[in-house]
Amino acid sequence: MEASGLAIIVILVVSFQLFPYMVNGERLAPTAFLAGFGNEALITICALMIMGKGLEATGALQPLAMFLAKAWTARPKLASLATLGIAAILSAFLNNTPVVIMLLPMLIGVAVRNKFAPSSILMPVGFATLIGGMATTIGTSTNLLIVSIAADQGLEPFGMFDFTLPVLMVGVVGVLYLWLVAPRLLPERKQPLSDRSPRVFNAMFHINETSAACGLTFAEGLALTGNEMRVDRIERGDGLSVTKLPLVKILAGDRLAVRDTPDRLKRFEKQLGATLHGALGADDVTSETHALKDLQHLAEIVVTRGSLLHRATLVGTRFARRTGLLPLAVHRAREPGIEEISGDIGTTRLRAGDVVLVQGADSQLEQLKRSGTVLVLDGTTNLPRTHRADRALVIMILVVLAAAIGILPISVSAIVGVGAMLATRCLTWKDASGALSAQVIMIIVASLALGLAMTETGGAVYIAQGFVEGARLLPTPFILSMLMLVMAILTNVVSNAAAGIIGTPIAIQMARELGVPAEPFVVAVIFGVNMSYATPFGYQTNLLLLSAGGYKFSDFMRAGVPLTALMWLGFSIVLPIIYDL
């Protein structure tokens, strides 16, 4: 995505340099397309990302998660509703990524403890954060961008809570759907971290001289597993692949690439006398005095953007030496558009949403959780919390209050908040830089450049006029509804930031063509682009849900499309009433 964003910027700059375009007698400077890097909304988004990381790293929201965990034990049905409501409320003021990251381990632990499928609650909670994110100007980065563009186009600046009322009215219905209906639509995926976990991992069995399979033929090796093991390939030496013929000998040093569930992989490891960890740092964590010799525990680590493993390899990060954990296998969702794992898991570059199966002592897992560098799912409800958590929470509350009351613009307030978190050591400079997503930044800058090109060249006017001409005989509320539906469809195909930035000038021009206030059309764009429910790629947290919940692509369609229709119909009724259209 970063490459696509950069390509768009390069194409625009080069095109307008080679083919000058005049606006009101003046040339549109190619450098104007680079102004997005200094855009106030982008800087605000980056500051809020960093502050969200501060809350995540300090465990500021841990008491709330623990309260919900206890509620799940006592009254599961009401706890489910409370979790959805709290997730939505938090996401109105925080980036929803730290909210989801906070709740995921707790919900997985609750599911394991109470023996129910986490798939029934993880996706609804993720969607609840998207609903809550619609409610304020700072709820999502896209909201900030859209209201900033609207102000640049001459509209009265939006207040933080200017479109909270319609979200409250329709969002309540959406949350009730997520509570009562969505869990019934979602297939029951078995619990992760259990013997029946359906998640399939890519693993590599390493054969040594003492392995039972060493010296046997391939067919005899399979027989050791009851012919249940399915080998993708046999690797020998540096990059040599051996044909899987029945009479091929299995030699010491060979590596068998296998895809299977955790319990079956561990069983095959024992039957073959092989090792799953191989050269991934086993010597660093399995000395005679190491805790692994006494107590072993399986856990899953979800790779998130900005984490220790994102776009890195297990070998390159020296994961085993740094964490004291053995990486055994890697799971990557087999869905359209996602490249499958084909090489050694140790040298595979990991991406957001990948799941690493690890083995280690409870103390090592707890230490990794406290580091805040990755998302650990180990079946417990314990979350990391530091003595700086209260400071981080107070700083975040003051930032939001200062912006809401009007003491400071949100851009200034957020930057001051980042400075305060760094000064109070809630964050390190490394944490702050790691919180920034190059992908998000490039998409936003490229989208701002496209939006500028559309506005200055008259493209937005042309599209708006065509849309209005085609629907001139229809009532304004219907046109507003159609605009929102188009945005809802577009946001599930491309980035919601791109959809919002491109859609906003078109929406404003449509309102001008119709001779009606532009505010409801801008709000319709905000609501439409936040309906990222139908695909796992609609929003970055959806990828976390895809991995952690063991979902399939079709599950998002199954639960997300009805929610999209419900929210669209609700806003189509409410917006014309509120704005008197």
Q: Which of 71, 88, 194, 83 is nearest to 134 (CA)?
A: 88
Surface-to-core class of residue 88, CB atoms within 10 Å of its CB (0-12 exposed, 13-18 middle, 19+ buried): buried
Q: Is residue 368 in a domain?
A: yes
* Amino acid 168: pLDDT: 94
Is residue 164 domain-shared with residue 16, that is, in the same domain?
A: yes
Provide the H-helix boundaries in 273-388: 282-285, 319-323, 362-371
Domain co-membership, 420 together with 369: no
Collect all residues with Cβ–Cβ distance below 8 Å to 578 and sequence separation of at least 6. Answer: 165, 166, 520
| Residue-number span of the structural domain to which 425 is assigned | 2-190+392-578
What's the confidence (pLDDT) of residue 389?
Answer: 79
Same domain, 298 and 440: no
CA pair distance 424, 447, nearest whole angstrom: 35
The verdict on 239 and 334 lying in the same domain is yes
- 28 and 139 belong to one structural domain: yes
Residue whose token pair is 């209050």: 401
Whether residues 349 and 400 fall in one domain: no
Q: How many CB atoms lie within 10 A of CB 190?
A: 15
Give me the pLDDT at residue 89, please: 92
Domain boundary among 377, 403, 428: 377
Q: Are 309 and 376 in contact (CB under 8 A)?
A: no
| Beta-bridge partner residues of 23 | 26
DSSP one-letter string for 491-531: HTTS-HHHHHHHHHHHHHHHHHHHTS-SHHHHHHHHHHHT-
Number of domains in the chain: 2
pLDDT at 554: 84
Q: Is 196 part of any domain? A: no
Whether residue 385 lies inside any domain: the answer is no
Give Cα 568 to chain centroid, integer Å: 23
**What's the CA gap between 122 and 547, in Å, rounded?**
11
Beta-strand relationship, 326-331 and 255-260: unpaired
Q: Which amino acid is at 38?
A: G
HEC profile of 275-313: ECCCCCCHHHHCCCCCHHHCCCEEEEEECCCCCCCCCCC
- List the one residue out of 187, 193, 326, 213 whose CA is nearest residue 261: 193
CA 394/CA 307 separation, integer angstroms: 25
Considering the domain architecture, whether residues 207 and 186 belong to the same structural domain is answered as no
The H or E element containing residue 359 is strand 355-360
Residues 6+ apart with CB under 8 A from 522: 146, 147, 150, 155, 158, 504, 507, 508
Distance CA 232, CA 33 (A): 48
Positive or negative CA dihedral for 542, 545, 550, 554? negative
Whether 386 maps to a domain, the answer reads: no
End-to-end alpha carbon distance in the chain: 39
Residue 269 within a domain:
yes
- pTM comes to 0.73
pLDDT tens track, the chain, 581 positions: 556 667 777 887 888 777 777 766 777 777 777 777 777 778 888 888 888 878 777 777 777 777 887 888 788 888 889 999 999 998 888 877 778 877 777 787 777 666 677 778 888 999 999 999 999 988 888 898 898 888 888 888 888 889 999 999 999 999 999 999 998 888 776 544 444 445 677 788 888 888 888 989 988 888 888 888 888 888 887 767 787 888 888 888 888 888 777 778 888 888 888 887 654 544 444 444 343 344 456 777 878 766 778 778 888 888 877 887 878 778 776 555 555 666 667 778 887 778 888 877 777 777 777 665 667 775 554 555 567 778 888 898 898 888 888 888 888 888 999 999 889 888 888 778 777 767 677 777 887 787 777 777 777 777 777 777 777 778 889 999 999 999 998 888 877 888 888 888 889 988 888 889 999 999 999 999 999 898 877 777 787 777 677 777 888 889 999 999 999 999 999 999 999 87
Asked if 55 and 135 sit in the same domain, the reply is yes
Beta bridge partners of 568: none
